[in-house]
Amino acid sequence: MVNILINGKEKETISVYDRGLQYGDGLFETMAVRNGNIYLWETHWQRLMSGCERLSITLPDKKTIEKEIALLCLNESQLVIKLIVTRGEGQRGYPFSNTQSVTRILSSHAWPNYPEYYQSEGVAVCYCETTLSENKKLAGIKHLNRLEQILARNEWDSDEFQEGLMLTTQGHVVDGTMSNIFAVKDNVLITPDLSLSGVAGVMRKTVIKLAKEIGISICEKQTSKAELEMADELFLTNSLFGIWPVKMLAKTRFTQIGKVTKLLQEKVNELGK
Amino acid sequence: MVNILINGKEKETISVYDRGLQYGDGLFETMAVRNGNIYLWETHWQRLMSGCERLSITLPDKKTIEKEIALLCLNESQLVIKLIVTRGEGQRGYPFSNTQSVTRILSSHAWPNYPEYYQSEGVAVCYCETTLSENKKLAGIKHLNRLEQILARNEWDSDEFQEGLMLTTQGHVVDGTMSNIFAVKDNVLITPDLSLSGVAGVMRKTVIKLAKEIGISICEKQTSKAELEMADELFLTNSLFGIWPVKMLAKTRFTQIGKVTKLLQEKVNELGK
């Protein structure tokens, strides 16, 4: 069984001179594979393209990556595929040349053992103390500079919370450490604007598209804690778990899973079939 | 000749599961070695300690690292040693355990071929468009999340400029892509406050200490472009090049190297002897 491919070769090590390690100079995608299909592959690929463009990293060949993923998925019904693309090996120092050959790393991972009731009954979410910084050149893309998420995620280690929301220093909620947040208020779907900060999740994009298709109004805007706490419904999105309703946000309890949340869960689950 | 040691072993590759690659979850130090001595080693070590404490990364053993550096420096009169410390290998996902064993990477590099006249006649500096984000938990330490510096450094590729200064979105100058900035105004040494952003350089710390010893007042504060442009003297600091006077900042020309700059250059050079 092949579970890792680096530039097409089955090995587990890379050069220490790779800029991915030296500076976090790269991007990644974490993808769900079910019955041999990469769930939402085109959306993952679009985000990777946009990340490569923003960081001036040469985009790897799509067909090659598709073939390599197929190799990793052979005989597997459900697993996680992580793709890392770095700027490749380089000299010491920040300057790079556009002729550097990129490094692509594909690895397969076990499906996370999230309990089914997270989907059906909802999860509890806290606010993180670690803030998210703002930089419009890095906002939205899934780059390898993830220290803020690491510090935030490690603020709690109990099962009391399943996710933590991160805020800017100005108090705007941006996203969770590994998910995006949506609120429903008076039948409008609200989600934080990500033009200065955060990761624009593939499931977030999918949910926005599905909501539009079924005629739900969308509002991407600066969002405060109070707006989330006064919402009719709240939910989290992520490529692997899909949609998790939020039953508790800090001290605010949401009594039941809302109808918009349920409807979108159904639509997302249909996509996966 | 040994020029790389990973956890004490002479090899050039690390596991792709190392969190240094996966998330930029680590720290680094770039050090000057002259005649077998690591220049300002104690100051580098202190910054590494502070970084490890901030990120909850186990500090590697100092004596072991000193021995390994000595091995890399054998028979070399002048070189650069880079030390990377990562949180080590881990599972997919942001959570970490405090029992993970860290990865330490020591590599030697050729001394950069900066022309001598950068020191004696000064350099030209531009402003970068890429902004520096603010996060008090990450400010000051030399962590592996360096995409902002990479984007900034690659805004120019001519020899016209030797360094670029980075600003916050509020317009405060923080530091250069690979150096810190100092201004002299009415015999007071001014340097940007780094409590929210930037890297607190080892040479910066050394220059502040030397200045205090010779009775020069220091002011660490929020600094604007205008303040730098109206300064009597301007200079950059970095562990490898020491002090470079600034002869040109964007369109502002500084006609001669100031006396405070010269005095501090002499003091820094004496330390290296």
CATH architecture of B4-109: 2-Layer Sandwich (3.30)
Across the interface, of A92, A137, A157, the residue whose CB is closest to B109 is A92
Handedness of CA A85, A89, A95, A96 (dihedral sign): negative
- Kindly state the percentage of chain B with pLDDT values over 70: 100
For A67-99, give one letter per residue: b (16+ CB within 10 A) or e.
Answer: ebbebbbeebeebbbbbbbbbbbbeebbebeee
Model pLDDT, residue B2: 82
Structure token pair of residue B12: 């050039």
Model pLDDT, residue B99: 72
Model pLDDT, residue B271: 87
Model pLDDT, residue B191: 98
Residue A87 has pLDDT above 90, yes or no: yes
Q: How far apart are CA B238 and CA B31, in angstroms?
A: 10
Nearest CA in chain B to A19: B21
Structure letter (DSSP) for residue B52 = H
Distance, C-alpha A39 to centroid of its chain:
13
For A129-143, give one letter per residue: b (16+ CB within 10 A) or e.
Answer: ebbbbbbebbbbbbb
Check A84 against B55: CB less than 8 A apart. Answer: no
Among B94, B96, B131, B141, the strongest candidate for a mutation testing the A interface, having the largest count of A CBs within 10 A, is: B94
Model pLDDT, residue B8: 97
Structure token pair of residue B20: 């240094």
Handedness of CA A184, A189, A193, A194 (dihedral sign): positive
The domains spanning B4-109 and B117-271 adopt the same CATH topology: no
How many other C-beta atoms lie within 10 A of the C-beta of residue A59?
Answer: 15
Q: How far apart are CA B180 and CA A210, in angstroms?
A: 49
Shortest CA gap B150–chain A (Å): 5
Nearest CA in chain A to B197: A133
What residues in A contact B12, CB-CB < 8 Å? 15-17
pLDDT digits (tens, 9 = 90+) for A103-126: 999 999 999 999 999 999 999 999
pLDDT digits (tens, 9 = 90+) for B210-264: 999 999 999 999 999 999 999 999 999 999 999 999 999 999 999 889 999 999 9
Q: How far apart are CA B230 and CA A237, in angstroms?
A: 51
How many other C-beta atoms lie within 10 A of the C-beta of residue A115?
Answer: 11
* CB contact set of A61 (below 8 Å; sequence gap of 6+): none
> So where are chain B's domains?
4-109, 117-271
Residue entry with tokens 């039953």: A247
pLDDT digits (tens, 9 = 90+) for B48-87: 999 999 999 999 999 999 999 999 998 888 999 999 999 9
Across the interface, of A4, A16, A130, the residue whose CB is closest to B6 is A16
- Kindly state the percentage of chain B with pLDDT values over 90: 89
Model pLDDT, residue A16: 96
Given a contact cutoff of 8 angstroms between Cβ atoms, the answer to whether A243 and A261 are in contact is yes
Residue B272 has pLDDT above 80, yes or no: no
Q: pLDDT category, B35, cuts 50, 70, 90?
A: confident
Query: Can you give B198-257 as a three-state secondary structure string?
Result: CECCHHHHHHHHHHHHCCCEEEEECECHHHHHCCCEEEEEECCCEEEEEEEECCEECCCC
Check A14 against B12: CB less than 8 A apart. Answer: no
The closest alpha carbon to B134, from A148, A223, A23, A22, belongs to A148
Model pLDDT, residue A273: 64
Residue B45 has pLDDT above 70, yes or no: yes
Mean pLDDT to the nearest integer, B121-141: 98
**B23 close contact with A: CB closer than 8 A:** yes
- Kindly state the percentage of chain A with pLDDT values over 70: 100
Model pLDDT, residue B126: 98
Check A6 against B25: CB less than 8 A apart. Answer: no
**A79 close contact with B: CB closer than 8 A:** no
**A273 close contact with B: CB closer than 8 A:** no
What residues in A contact B149, CB-CB < 8 Å? 23, 94
Given a contact cutoff of 8 angstroms between Cβ atoms, the answer to whether B50 and B29 are in contact is no
Across the interface, of A24, A56, A132, the residue whose CB is closest to B24 is A24
Check B94 against A30: CB less than 8 A apart. Answer: no
Looking at CATH, the fold of the domain delimited by B117-271 is given as D-amino Acid Aminotransferase; Chain A, domain 2 (3.20.10)
Supply the ipTM of this predicted assembly.
Answer: 0.96
Q: How far apart are CA A242 and CA B94, in angstroms?
A: 18
**A55 close contact with B: CB closer than 8 A:** yes
The closest alpha carbon to A81, from A114, A43, A15, A37, belongs to A37
CA distances from B66 to A30, B1, B3, B28 (A): 39, 17, 15, 15
Model pLDDT, residue A100: 76
Residue B120 has pLDDT above 80, yes or no: yes
- The residues in B 90-109 lying below 8 A from A, measured between CB atoms, are 92-96, 105, 107, 109
* CB contact set of A127 (below 8 Å; sequence gap of 6+): A164, A165, A167, A225, A250
End-to-end CA distance of chain B: 25
- The residues in A 168-187 lying below 8 A from B, measured between CB atoms, are 169, 177-178
Model pLDDT, residue B273: 64
Residue A272 has pLDDT above 80, yes or no: no
Mean pLDDT to the nearest integer, B132-141: 98
Shortest CA gap B89–chain A (Å): 12
Given a contact cutoff of 8 angstroms between Cβ atoms, the answer to whether B236 and B125 are in contact is yes
Across the interface, of B82, B145, B149, the residue whose CB is closest to A94 is B149
What residues in A contact B109, CB-CB < 8 Å? 92
Check B55 against A151: CB less than 8 A apart. Answer: yes
What three-state secondary structure class fits B95?
coil
- The residues in B 137-166 lying below 8 A from A, measured between CB atoms, are 137-138, 143-154, 157
Across chain B, mean pLDDT equals: 95
Check B178 against A93: CB less than 8 A apart. Answer: yes
H-helix segments, A15-74? 19-23, 41-55, 62-73
Side-chain-side CA neighbours of residue B42 (13 Å): 1
Q: Which has the higher per-residue pLDDT, B41 or B92?
A: B41
What residues in A contact B146, CB-CB < 8 Å? 22-25, 94, 145
What residues in A contact B55, CB-CB < 8 Å? 147, 150-151
Across chain A, mean pLDDT equals: 95
Given a contact cutoff of 8 angstroms between Cβ atoms, the answer to whether B177 and B149 are in contact is yes
Q: If 0-12 CB within 10 Å is exposed, 13-18 middle and 19+ buried, where does residue A227 land?
A: middle
Across the interface, of A23, A146, A151, the residue whose CB is closest to B137 is A151
For B139-177, give one letter per residue: b (16+ CB within 10 A) or e.
Answer: bbbbbbbbbbbbbbbbeeeeeebbbbbbbbeeebbbbbb
**B21 close contact with A: CB closer than 8 A:** yes
